[in-house]
Structure 1
Amino acid sequence: MRVIVAGAGVAGLAAARGLLAAGHDVEVYEEAPGPRTAGGSVTLWPGSTAILDELGIGYANLGWRLETMESWTEDGRRLFTVDLTSAERRYGHPCVHVARRELVAALAGDLPVVYGAGVEHAVPERAEARLAGGRTVRGDVLVGADGRRSAVRRALWGDDPATLSGWVTWQGFTTAPTSLTGARRAVMIAGRRELCGLIPAGEGRLLWWFDVQASPGGPFWKDDPDIVRRLRERFGGWADPVPTVLETMNEIDFFPHHRHTIPAIWGRGPTTLAGDAAHTMPPTMAQGANQALEDAWLLTRSVGGDLRAYERARARIARRPALLASSEVTNRQRSYAGLFPDWMATRLHTASLRRFSSYLLTAS
């Protein structure tokens, strides 16, 4: 079948790679002039690393394998530790943290991506898309993987359903040596009304992010001219290595948290959705890229069959992390983090990974 994929992010590229391997004729159209490298890095859970393995992408040399995930207070007191190797043993694949640009590059490979050709309008019933510049393409199937502002979804659903959660993320990398840069630990430092996250990403890089409450036009919002000063004041005095991060900030990215209700049916006729176009969620559960890969995995097995069954199956799973992420539960962990012993936190986390994964529910 001829499949038109709108968007060359994680969902679109993974779907294209899987569909090509399944024998379909695939074309990918991307709005950006080149590969989409914006963003810091992402944590891939065992279901996703298993999917990468099936796609022929060796994750052994991709990113940085993680062994624990810890929660601290501002002064460095440990609240709990999740043993990520428990999930690795249970599911047969590790947890890996990888720079987004490296993941996109690995997925893109030699795929037939046409850059500078974003979809401006879609006709779902005909699997037809009008590209920037006026060209129209048509396939047997149209996949809208063109992100939160998806033109394909707009043709299907109308207005953007996402709303702001009231939280934002400021993030970047530091290459300054820290106590965590070469470790295999992810650390979340929980404040009363804010959170700092720190995860090594390989090649001497440490991803950092600061989650704070903010609203459009106010402090901590996009284009805040005093953002570096504000972050230093808000997080100054926190445990090592936060002072090093604050001191070495240079490039810094802004991400407002969006959420919306995920419907059971995403598409119409031969047109469907994948990734953020179908299920935008805050990054607090580290599930955006993972759910995109899960979409691609199941979609590969559904093209040529019942696309509505694909949507219902994925919606049932994606709603679980989306609901938790929308509550910003991770950013509020200070109130409950110390209540669970390590063994219980590990068991809960390991079980949740299976509940959040179509692949693991099928394969394990």
Structure 2
Amino acid sequence: MPAVNNVLVVGGGLAGTATAILLAQRGVAVDLVEVKPDIAAIGSGITLQGNALRELRRLGVWERARAEGFPFDCLGLRAPDPAGTLLFEIPDVRSGGPDLPATMGMPRPALARVLLDRATETGVKTRFGVAPTGLAQDAGGVDVTFTGGSTGRYDLVVGADGIRSTTRQLVGIELEIRSTGMGIWRAFGPRPASVTHTDLYYGGPCYIAGYTPTGTNSLYAYIVEDVTDHSGLAAEQRLATMRELSAAYHGPWDEIRPTLTDPSRINYTRFETHVLPPPWNRGRVVLIGDAAHSCPPTLAQGGAQALEDAAVLAELLLARDSLDDDLWNTFTARRYDRARTVVEASNQVGQWLLDHVQGDVPGLVRRIGDLVSQPA
């Protein structure tokens, strides 16, 4: 028998939905709650490395995801010059194995919908607009109170509710969420035919300008700058700011820029980071994904690490017959150092840019690629 019979998963992002699917498809009763009214309506694009694609295959959604996304196998580096000169193309590591693409871009809402559909198929009971407000543990389970006053009792609560996790707060964990000093503009729009993989431009007025194809007819474009408080900007001003910053970048950017016309498809977020020291559980409550570790997208590993957390946690819960110290120690041994290494490497790329230091980015990328090529 598995270590758990019924589980509450808090958070409908990658980590939470993946955990719910993996447990439910093996007969565990799973409730999934998400505070947002519709998680599938939020976000622009996401870059998924091969190790993330490996986990999508484990979840039984790889073919569906591939149909919604845009796979590719290399990274282009371009100069911030008047021609947007392509300097060279670097083959990406096929970290998911030789039978999967190295990388795939995908609209975030499409990925969320694929995962939620799979969760429904496996019997997960999902409620939106709901969050826990209280957790009370004893030796046999966790009593949970939700917004609206409903209650439930579970063998385990999985907190996969993001960087500012409510679950983390409810179990009394305090940690520092640090700004890295960078912020990113993102836009979602149509894909020009010239965009067939990620291109990155280092330098110019911003640290990074780039774009990633997310489908036959879509891409997301992004510009990384010094972190700035843009909260006072109206939607039209945000659009104008991104268009202005992108004016220094050419090549395919000259085709992308005229398509940036919808203010609702522009967003700005700060790069933030943290790693929760082990253990990631407090009794029968465990934290995964951004609730436990978060990194800037400089190595495009945030989503992959969230999916890996889910895979390892579900594997252990299904293989063991009790929630004991050995299970949690094994979970820590398999996840903490790996996630911390990825976070530190992602932060290092950004710090080199902030310090205007010519770091060994290719070497670091290869090192992380080799690490994540091994299953978690």
TM-score by length of 2: 0.83
Shift of 1:91: 4.3
Alignment pair present for 1:353 and 2:362: no
Correspondence for 2:22:
18
Of 115, 118, 133 in structure 2, the residue corresponding to residue 120 of structure 1 is: 133
Q: Secondary structure at the match of 2:114?
A: helix
Residue 154 of structure 1 aligns to which amino acid in structure 2? Q
Correspondence for 1:92:
99
Correspondence for 1:173:
188
Shift of 1:170: 1.2
Of 288, 295, 308 in structure 2, the residue corresponding to residue 294 of structure 1 is: 308
**Counterpart-to-counterpart distance in 2, 1:206 and 1:34:** 22
**Alignment CA distance shift 1:213-1:328 (3 Å):** farther
**Counterpart-to-counterpart distance in 1, 2:106 and 2:164:** 24
* Structure 2 segments unaligned to the other structure (5+ residues): none
Q: Secondary structure at the match of 2:275?
A: coil
Residue 142 of structure 1 aligns to which amino acid in structure 2? V
* Structure 1 segments unaligned to the other structure (5+ residues): none
Give the share of equivalent positions with the same residue, in percent.
25
Residue 94 of structure 2 aligns to which amino acid in structure 1? A
Q: Secondary structure at the match of 2:94?
A: helix
Correspondence for 1:54:
58
Shift of 1:157: 4.4
Correspondence for 1:154:
169
CA displacement, residues 56-77 of structure 1 (integer Å, 9 cap, x when unaligned): 1133323111121112221223
**Counterpart-to-counterpart distance in 1, 2:238 and 2:38:** 29
Shift of 1:264: 2.1
Residue 212 of structure 1 aligns to which amino acid in structure 2? E
Q: In 2, are the aligned partners of 1:33 and 1:115 still within 8 Å (CA)?
A: yes
**Alignment CA distance shift 1:44-1:237 (3 Å):** closer
Alignment pair present for 1:267 and 2:275: no
Shift of 1:27: 1.0
Shift of 1:268: 1.1
Correspondence for 1:231:
242
Q: Out of 258-267 and 236-245, give the one that drifted further.
A: 236-245
Residue 225 of structure 2 aligns to which amino acid in structure 1? V
Q: Which runs of 4+ in 1 moved over 4 A?
A: 88-91
Shift of 1:227: 3.1
Residue 187 of structure 1 aligns to which amino acid in structure 2? D
TM-score by length of 1: 0.86
CA displacement, residues 242-285 of structure 1 (integer Å, 9 cap, x when unaligned): 23333322220122111123312111111101111111221222
CA displacement, residues 263-308 of structure 1 (integer Å, 9 cap, x when unaligned): 1211111110111111122122211111110011001112245134
**Alignment CA distance shift 1:281-1:269 (3 Å):** same
Q: Secondary structure at the match of 1:301?
A: helix
**Counterpart-to-counterpart distance in 2, 1:35 and 1:87:** 29
Residue 353 of structure 1 aligns to which amino acid in structure 2? G
Shift of 1:178: 5.0
Q: In 2, are the aligned partners of 1:41 and 1:98 still within 8 Å (CA)?
A: yes
